[in-house]
Amino acid sequence: MTKDKKGRKKVHRKVIHGTTPVERFQEIHGMTVEEWNEQQFKAKTGMTPEEWYTKQVKSTTPLDFIKEHYDTVTEDDIKLVKDLQLLGLKDGVINVLLDYVEIFSRIGMVHPLVREMGKNWHKENILTVEKAMVFVREEHKKYKESSEK
């Protein structure tokens, strides 16, 4: 590696044709920013972001999940979690549901809404963490497509 007078790495006279930063990054590194980020994450943790997330939601109780994201657990939160468990949703699926509500709800965690979503997930047979993650991705994709129109 050669350096210029100011100690910066010299570029080996390669012409970059990309017109946007994303295109230039991909041309220089041979991968997208997302692929690069995933590669860096895997180098640090030994797993992909999806594997890490799956491990987190499966190993955390819903009440711990709520406490971690909202700082406090109320009696209503406890009742909500119990109601979702009575529906037949496992703790990992409840965590994905709560995370989904936290990320995409502009009004916060409204218990009746979360209960209804839990009923719909049960009716749609979304009973595993993997199915819940696929469902959330599909819903997010639909949302992005509708907002772009």
Q: What pLDDT does residue 109 have? A: 84
Q: What pLDDT does residue 121 have? A: 96
Query: Which residue ranges of the chain lie beneath pLDDT 50?
Result: none
Tens-place pLDDT, residues 49-58: 999 999 999 9
* Distance between CA atoms of residues 131 and 133, nearest Å: 5
Is the Cβ–Cβ distance between 76 and 111 less than 8 Å?
A: yes
Q: What pLDDT does residue 11 have? A: 56
Tens-place pLDDT, residues 95-121: 999 999 988 877 778 999 999 999 999
CB neighbour list of residue 122: distance below 8 Å, 6 or more residues apart:
87, 88, 89
